[in-house]
Amino acid sequence: MITLIGVGHVFAISENVKQIIRSRRPEVVCIELDPSRYYALMQKDTQRKVPLQYLVLARIQKRIAGKFGTEIGDEMLAAASAAGEIGAKLALIDMDAQRIFAELWRKMSLKEKVGLFVGAFMGLFASKEKLEKEVDSYQENDAMYIEKMGEEFPSVKEVLIDERNRFMASKVTSLATTHGNIVVVIGDGHVPGMMEQLKAQQVEVIRLKELRSGDNIPASGSAQYSASFWYGPQNP
């Protein structure tokens, strides 16, 4: 069984992510990070070398996350922590950030570049209520939103969504040949594409809406787990 958990990087959902992992007790927990971004989050290292475009967008996301009382990446670190609690392996399945943004910047038109950063900066000034409405609207019709993104930002959709979906799905598929129970924590926008890529597998899906509402989230138990931590594999 593969369990896909769709998260939102600016929402306070870490405890619900942990509870799902504890209840599923997977052999492997996969998270949407590459080694550089993972260690930067672990060490709170804002000086670690990352692409300028990624740094700017990450700082904007951080400001937005502050409106929801959380920190960017908390849900990924929570998943890693839960993996350690139950003795599961941790797999970092995302593409290298340097490679992603180098390719994206090369492919994007000037119109896309301007539109991307204008949209991101507008998010800084949006109220918490407006941001929540946007998320709710997306969750009611995610296919329409993804299609609209493809029309307005074709390079962004291809590189940041489609290409990474294929890459991450290939790693999960490889892990599934030797592990029967896997939890995959990814941005909710990746869930539809990952479901398509993993259609040959048995897949359970928990979307961001459920995480935020608490629906179908198991109650926190009192069981004690033995810790075991493993970073990888990077190339399963």
Q: Encode the chain (236 residues) as per-residue pLDDT tens digits.
A: 999 999 987 678 899 999 999 999 999 999 999 998 888 888 875 555 555 556 566 665 665 555 555 667 889 999 999 999 999 999 999 999 888 888 988 898 898 888 877 776 666 666 667 666 766 666 666 777 778 878 888 988 899 899 999 999 999 999 999 999 999 999 998 999 999 999 989 999 999 888 888 766 765 443 333 333 333 333 33
Question: CB of 88 within 8 A of CB of 27?
Answer: yes
Q: Residue 225 domain-assigned?
A: no
pLDDT tens per residue, range 182-235: 999 999 989 999 999 999 899 999 998 888 887 667 654 433 333 333 333 333
What amino acid occupies position 88?
A
pTM summary value? 0.79
Phi, psi angles (nearest 5°) of residue 89: -75, 155
Structural domain count, the chain: 1
pLDDT tens per residue, range 19-30: 999 999 999 999
Q: Residue 230 domain-assigned?
A: no
The SS3 assignment for 31 reads strand
Q: Residue 228 domain-assigned?
A: no
Q: Residue 101 domain-assigned?
A: yes
Q: Would you call 223 exposed, middle or buried from its count of C-beta atoms within 10 A (0-12, 13-18, 19+)?
A: exposed
Tokens of 126: 């949006």
Q: Within 13 Å, how many C-alpha atoms sit on residue 35's CB side?
A: 6
Tell me how far apart the alpha carbons of residues 232 and 23 are, in angstroms, rounded to a whole number. 22
Domain range for 112 is 2-213
Q: Residue 236 domain-assigned?
A: no
